[in-house]
Amino acid sequence: MRKTVRYQVALAAVILCAGAVSFAQSGEATYKEKCQSCHGSAGVPSPGIAKVMGVKPATDPSVKSKSEAQMIAVTTDGAGKMPAFKGKLSEAQIKASVEFFRTFAK
């Protein structure tokens, strides 16, 4: 009887953890879904997008010089032709996608 109860508790814990993990979206997944079309798969926009939208690569000094907080603010509130993602993405998703984008600058 004890084994059965222990097994059921362990199973419930695994199911709860798996459910929580499946609802969390990584910065990479958010970036690919919302950002990649303009900023490129490796942080380098296509020449056409760069010219029309004014998007700079992650390695550009003007982009690299921005702090994480500044990038989060731009992503949240929008800037220039970049749309605001406030209300479309959670604060955690915005922060994670910015963190992922910043890996391209290294």
Count of other CB atoms within 10 angstroms of residue 47: 8
In angstroms, the CA 102 to CA 60 distance is: 11
pTM for the complete prediction?
0.76
In angstroms, the CA 19 to CA 66 distance is: 35
Per-residue pLDDT tens over the stretch 78-97: 999 999 999 999 999 999 99
Question: For the chain, which residues make up each domain, given as ranges?
Answer: 25-105
Residue 8 has pLDDT above 80, yes or no: no
40 confidence band (pLDDT: 50, 70, 90)? very high
Average pLDDT estimate for 14-34 = 72
25-105 has which CATH code? 1.10.760.10
- Within 28-91, strands assigned E span none
Residue 15 has pLDDT above 60, yes or no: yes
State the alpha helices, DSSP H only, in 24-104.
27-30, 36-39, 47-53, 61-64, 68-77, 91-102
- Read off the DSSP letter of residue 65: T
